[in-house]
A = this chain, B = another copy of it.
């Protein structure tokens, strides 16, 4: 799959497709809906994209490829482990606050793709997740903290990704401010959590 380049036309069609999936859900959207929204003929759509599944695959692939590319560029500018986690959070939120429709589509159709498409997207996502685990590892090593990264990193993704359900640009702050506050919660949370674990009294609830 070397040399795959999404030109403007493709990006635009994917944007329209993401909007249709956003409105109708993947299962509820038809190629006819996608053709209508993108202004491309139905036969053209089939010719270039083959199937609804292929379109979803391209949306997912473009999204994660873009996020990871931007992230790598930004990470090159910082060596402090805390700052690198803050960059990760800001990069993620900035992309998704601009592309909230894509964010919902990606969240909802997480397991929709099968076979090769699904495996390829899963691999890109796993690499993205692993970057975050690595950043947390570096942070914890520097601060001499213990604790497994899995739950912490997945909690962070939850904090960030859930935003598509509640973000209101008229009420809520911008990506930088939100990234700063989520970064505070997360970094302090994992900084203090590990040492406290052992001494935390197991109180029975209920």
Contact = CB atoms under 8 A, between A and B. Distances in A.
Q: How large is the interface on A (under 10, 10 to 19, 20 to 34, 35 or more residues)?
A: 35 or more
A119 to B, nearest CB: 18
Stoichiometry (number of copies): 2
Chain A interface secondary structure, helix, strand, loop or mixed? helix
A44 interface: no
A181 interface: yes
Contacts of A182: 151, 155
Contacts of A83: 203
A90 to B, nearest CB: 5
Contacts of A200: 180, 184
Interface of A: 24-28, 73-74, 77-78, 83, 86-87, 90-91, 107-108, 110, 150-152, 154-155, 157-163, 165-166, 172-173, 178, 180-182, 184-193, 196-197, 200, 203, 205-206
14 contacts: A25-B27, A77-B205, A86-B205, A151-B178, A155-B182, A158-B161, A180-B197, A184-B192, A184-B197, A185-B189, A185-B190, A187-B189, A188-B191, A189-B189
